[in-house]
Structure 1
Amino acid sequence: MNQLPIFLNLRDRPVILLGDGEAADAKRRLIERSGGICVGEDNADARIAIVALEDEAEAIEAVARLKARGLIVNAVDRPALCDFTTPAIIDRDPVLIAIGTGGASAGLAKALRQRFEGLLPATLGDLARALDSARDAIRYRWPGSAERRRAIDAALAPNGALDPLSDLDADPVAGWIAGGGAGVAAGLYDIAIGSPDPDELTLRQVRLLGSADLVLHPHDMPPAILSRARADAAMQIDDGETTAEGVTVRLIWALTAGSS
């Protein structure tokens, strides 16, 4: 991961936009759709700027001026000058899915967005709002943060009570809370890895990695496999000893594993 994906709240905030033409118009629509206010370079309150100038020399000079003021800058079609890039977006308000390539190919990001658009139901935003409204009820049902996270993970997993890609009932969250479900229990789980290709992981293995608080692994475990774990999971070379709490997943090469 060579960039940190973040979502910025631009509501009523100024964003400097330099340029004219199709590229600038597209960025203007994006800023205004996000609630931001497009302003000129002389605005002293702006902290973000987008440069959509066609002329190469003018764009380079503008980026340098803005960065010298401490702004973070996006330069359209010039990834080497960018502090941040704007992704392809799937909007299921309040759910936003951003697809980026670090500026390598906007076309690829767009193609992926179009593919994923067809997979995501229009009701995805309704599910998000229902979970938000039930926040207090969820905390009451699962008081501990770890057990609460595991229950939510299990509910949102494929074929789970709240599987976001399935056809859900009118009020699925209330039924899920009433029915309960603990998700992946705390403990140590061994996963036998037979291939360095992450696409060969089973659904169970992916679910365990996605629930892990700690991942133990041999020194030669490929990063592509490790990347399937939770982004905030702790990673540790397996030395045969652990006293960690929560869900611990130990990755073992299948040829040397005693279990799978």
Structure 2
Amino acid sequence: MIEALPLFHRIAGRPVVVLGQGEAATAKRRLVERAGAVVHTDISEGVAAGARLAFVVHEEEAQAEADVAAARRAGMLVNATDRPALCDFTVPSILDRSPVLIAVGTGGASAGLAKQLRLRLEALLPQSLGVLASALQAARGRLRERFPEAGDRRRALDAALTAGGMLDPLVASSAERVDGWLQDAIADEGELVEITLGSDDPDDLTLRQARLLGAADVVIHDPRVAPAILDRARADAQRHVLQDTAPRAGLTVVLTLG
């Protein structure tokens, strides 16, 4: 089970309250303004403007608790810097490849850990990733025309975006290939794969097993398979308790226990 639901919140042109003084508060205001929001430094002004988010950055515990309570009474979701217990949401470390954003969060456990993970990812992901995303967005209409069925579109994209695929996201030139790929793209036909599990620990999945499970359109599983394993599948993948292994459209993964 995840402890928080990661969301990307559009705040451009919208009011956001940021309370506090000093470097930490300045950094929060800078982050909020970077996302295009209009910053208010007074709760009353923020309420009047219709603010729904508040950042509380105070050194003193009592002052932080008082402003968090006031913001919540006004119907705002609140982030209190360095006080996870007072937070309705936390702020991740952000890797920017706009329009691709990768957020690394630890639920407030360690901002330093989130930063170091983000720096590792910075070295792996090319700047061209955002260009690829924009090219795919521009091609959405043509992609729908070529593959009217959502499942066919997903499987065609999965094949192209996988490691070594024509649109491999880690290859800088992939964005230049979108038009050519779209002309020749075909959807993968249905495939049935059986995975025999050795334990209930998702960390024991091989890389291949984890990849297949994450890409599956349909998951058919032994009733004894642990929820932690099933959580590795896409949230929108169909799930069925093991009764038969009849092939279905797309990639079907059958989970059994060894």
Pick from 197, 205, 208 the counterpart of residue 209 of structure 2: 205
User: Residues 154 and 181 of structure 1 are in contact (CA less than 8 Å); yes or no, is this contact kept in structure 2?
Assistant: no
Residues 80-119 of structure 1: CA deviation (Å, up to 9, x unaligned): 1111111010000110001111111111111110111100
Q: Which amino acid aligns with 1:12?
A: G
Report 1:1-260 matches (<5 A).
Answer: 1-39=2-40, 40-42=42-44, 43=46, 44=48, 45-169=50-174, 171-183=176-188, 185-240=189-244, 246-253=250-257, 255=258
Structure that is richer in helix per residue: 2
**CA 231–170 in structure 1, closer or farther in 2 if over 3 Å, else same:** closer
What is the TM-score of this pair, normalised by structure 1? 0.89
Equivalent-residue separation in structure 2 for 1:153 and 1:100 (angstroms) = 26
What is the TM-score of this pair, normalised by structure 2? 0.89
Moved more, 173-182 or 225-234: 225-234
Residues 171-206 of structure 1: CA deviation (Å, up to 9, x unaligned): 2111211221323x3354312223545455444433
5+ residue gaps, structure 1: 256-260
Moved more, 167-176 or 13-22: 167-176
Moved more, 21-30 or 197-206: 197-206
3-state SS of the aligned residue for 1:192? Answer: strand
Residues 229-257 of structure 1: CA deviation (Å, up to 9, x unaligned): 1133244443447796543321112x3xx
- Work out the number of aligned pairs and report it: 253
Equivalent-residue separation in structure 1 for 2:219 and 2:174 (angstroms) = 35
Equivalent-residue separation in structure 2 for 1:199 and 1:131 (angstroms) = 32
Equivalent-residue separation in structure 1 for 2:96 and 2:63 (angstroms) = 34
Residues 199-228 of structure 1: CA deviation (Å, up to 9, x unaligned): 554444333212223322234434443232
User: Residues 132 and 175 of structure 2 are in contact (CA less than 8 Å); yes or no, is this contact kept in structure 1?
Assistant: no
Q: Note the C-alpha offset of 1:66.
A: 0.9
What percentage of aligned pairs have identical amino acids? 53
Q: Note the C-alpha offset of 1:136.
A: 1.1
3-state SS of the aligned residue for 2:130? Answer: helix
Equivalent-residue separation in structure 1 for 2:248 and 2:224 (angstroms) = 22
User: Residues 12 and 37 of structure 2 are in contact (CA less than 8 Å); yes or no, is this contact kept in structure 1?
Assistant: yes
Equivalent-residue separation in structure 2 for 1:233 and 1:66 (angstroms) = 39
Moved more, 199-208 or 8-17: 199-208
Residue in 2 that maps onto 1:258 = none
Residues 137-165 of structure 1: CA deviation (Å, up to 9, x unaligned): 11112111110011111111111111101
Equivalent-residue separation in structure 2 for 1:245 and 1:159 (angstroms) = 24
5+ residue gaps, structure 2: none
Please tell me the root mean square deviation across aligned C-alpha atoms, in Å. Answer: 2.1
Moved more, 16-25 or 215-224: 215-224
Equivalent-residue separation in structure 1 for 2:175 and 2:225 (angstroms) = 44
